[in-house]
């Protein structure tokens, strides 16, 4: 394992014996938020992504939040998309617009599988660029508007529980069923970072929950075709925004690499004869987004102890772990009806290139926002929060330039679809991520203590 600490985005930067030392002061908070429509236009259809989309059902948005202490500035951007492709290009554009270092910016995808923006780094579909240009324009506009909307603000934090996710990668008895594993581990925590005006009205809610936005994935709902929709993340955000007029609700996916919604419109994704079409599918989506949205609204209303002054601090780091690869490529195509994940003993792995996992830590006083450019299994997120030096901690995943799935070590022993054949060797990523976040927090502690 190799750990590399990169940057610290506060007032000063110095290196002493390989350790980064930062200084900061508390400042009066300001916050601004905005959302911009990034829906594909009619002339773009039919549109290819993870599926072929025939039309638009409901809008896609990019939502932005900027938090400024007068001494440092953070930016958070959440995109209704499966992935953040061309990530370096986006990061450079946004940081240039806001005049902030890269470690002070989190761009995340909601991981909406019914949106066109999809592709791992270097493997984006050829058709992705035209729609990406529309998304990039929307991201920059949302960042500009949020920055222009900066106003005096107070910050608070709260958590709750929602029961709309379930483990999808756990063994059930003697069998395995992708999409529903109620006995597997599942983090039900809803986390909310709340920014309000001094009078108490919400400016923005930075929400976090461990679930894939795949309720409508592969479901044909109009003219035998799949439609673009913001799915569970977008519908939940809209529900929250409808309750707080003028506020923006950013949705971030927590450690959900093994977490699906409890109910999917197309329950068995791999059997084309069991589609739950049209109105029934949208009803399933509506119910679950309402349940998750209701809990976010409850948490927002329960947050009382807000602060108008805070230390703002940011850092970026990475961990590098040994890699592996399949001795022979997997069979092409998607799993069919009755498919079972292969047993670990049947998948032969050989040494592969090391894998570097990008990490970020953004602090607003004692609120710790950990971020990973990957799809992280839920127990790793729970481990990071449990061992955090700060009670108010959440994990954001699906950042730009994601590196794939980060399974727990024990997942390699199960017939888990995303662990068997994973390009990370077991035994490194889980403890390394937890340890490095702890190390980053330790570097922040003297900064906060000095500022207070």
Tell whether the model's pLDDT for residue 404 goes beyond 80: yes
- Confidence band (pLDDT; 50, 70, 90) for 421? confident
Average pLDDT rounded to a whole number, residues 111-115: 96
Residue 343 lies in a domain: no
Average pLDDT rounded to a whole number, residues 99-111: 98
User: Is there a contact between 396 and 208 (Cβ–Cβ < 8 Å)?
Assistant: yes
Residue 338 lies in a domain: no
Give pLDDT, residue 325: 93
Report the sign of the C-alpha dihedral through residues 50, 293, 363, 147, in that order: positive
Tell whether the model's pLDDT for residue 240 goes beyond 60: yes
Give pLDDT, residue 420: 84
Q: How far apart are CA 356 and CA 349, in angstroms?
A: 19
17 CB contacts (<8 Å, ≥6 apart)? none
73-94 tens-digit pLDDT:
999 999 999 999 999 999 999 9
Tally the domains of the chain.
1
Nearest residue to 310 via CA among 37, 28, 90: 28
270 vs 26, more confident: 26
Give pLDDT, residue 309: 97
Nearest residue to 67 via CA among 297, 367, 298: 367
- Confidence band (pLDDT; 50, 70, 90) for 60? very high
Residue 334 lies in a domain: no
- Confidence band (pLDDT; 50, 70, 90) for 218? confident
Residue 283 lies in a domain: yes
- Confidence band (pLDDT; 50, 70, 90) for 182? low
Q: Burial level of 98, CB count in 10 A (0-12/13-18/19+)?
A: buried
Give pLDDT, residue 151: 98
Residue 157 lies in a domain: yes
Give pLDDT, residue 278: 74
Residue 293 lies in a domain: yes
Tell whether the model's pLDDT for residue 131 goes beyond 50: yes
- Give the pTM: 0.91
Q: Domain residues for 160?
A: 2-323+350-451
- Confidence band (pLDDT; 50, 70, 90) for 342? confident
Q: How far from 332 is each of 97, 230, 325, 328, 329, CA to CA, in Å?
A: 42, 29, 16, 12, 8
Q: If you average pLDDT over every residue of the chain, what do you get?
A: 88
Lowest mean pLDDT among 173-182, 265-274, 371-380: 173-182
310 CB contacts (<8 Å, ≥6 apart)? 26, 27, 29, 69, 155, 364, 365
Residue 337 lies in a domain: no
Residue 115 lies in a domain: yes
Give pLDDT, residue 64: 99
């Amino acid at each position: 394992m190799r750990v590399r600490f990169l940057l610290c985005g506060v007032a000063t930067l110095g290196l002493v014996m390989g350790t980064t030392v930062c200084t900061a002061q508390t400042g009066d908070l300001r916050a601004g938020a905005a959302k911009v429509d990034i829906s594909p236009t009619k002339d773009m259809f039919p549109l290819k992504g993870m599926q072929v989309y025939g039309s638009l059902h409901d809008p896609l948005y990019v939502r932005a939040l900027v938090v400024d202490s007068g001494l440092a500035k953070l930016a958070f951007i959440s995109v209704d998309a499966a992935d953040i492709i061309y990530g370096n290009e986006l990061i450079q554009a946004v940081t240039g617009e806001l005049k902030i270092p890269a470690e002070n910016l989190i761009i995340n995808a909601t991981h909406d599988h019914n949106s066109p923006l999809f592709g791992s780094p270097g493997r984006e579909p050829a058709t992705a660029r035209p729609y990406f240009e529309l998304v990039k324009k929307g991201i920059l506009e949302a960042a500009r508007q949020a920055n222009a909307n900066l106003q005096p603000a107070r910050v608070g934090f709260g958590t709750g529980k929602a029961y709309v996710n379930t483990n999808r990668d756990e063994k059930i008895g003697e069998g395995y069923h992708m999409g529903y594993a109620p006995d597997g581990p599942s983090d039900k925590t809803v986390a909310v970072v709340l920014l309000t005006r001094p009078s108490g009205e919400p400016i923005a809610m930075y929400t976090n929950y461990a679930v894939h936005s795949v309720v409508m994935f592969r479901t044909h709902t109009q003219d035998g075709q799949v439609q673009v929709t913001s799915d569970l993340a977008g519908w939940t955000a809209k529900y929250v925004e409808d309750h707080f007029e003028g506020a923006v609700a950013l949705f971030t996916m927590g450690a959900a690499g093994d977490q699906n919604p409890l109910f999917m419109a197309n329950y068995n994704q791999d059997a084309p004869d069991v589609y739950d079409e049209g109105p029934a599918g949208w009803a399933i989506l509506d119910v679950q987004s309402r349940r998750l949205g209701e809990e976010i609204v409850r948490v927002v209303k329960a947050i009382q102890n807000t602060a108008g002054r805070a230390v703002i601090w940011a850092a970026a780091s990475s961990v590098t772990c040994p890699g592996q690869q399949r001795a022979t490529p997997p069979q092409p195509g998607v799993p069919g009806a009755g498919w079972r994940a292969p047993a670990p003993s049947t998948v032969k792995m050989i040494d592969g290139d090391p894998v570097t996992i990008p990490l970020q830590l953004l602090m607003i006083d004692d609120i710790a926002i950990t971020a990973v450019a990957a799809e992280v299994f839920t127990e790793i997120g729970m481990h990071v929060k449990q061992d955090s030096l700060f009670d108010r901690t959440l994990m954001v995943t699906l950042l730009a330039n994601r590196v794939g799935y980060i399974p727990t070590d024990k997942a390699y022993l199960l017939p888990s679809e995303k662990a068997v054949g994973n390009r990370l060797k077991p035994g490194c990523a889980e403890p390394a991520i937890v340890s490095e976040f702890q190390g980053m927090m330790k570097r922040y502690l003297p900064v906060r203590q000095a500022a207070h």
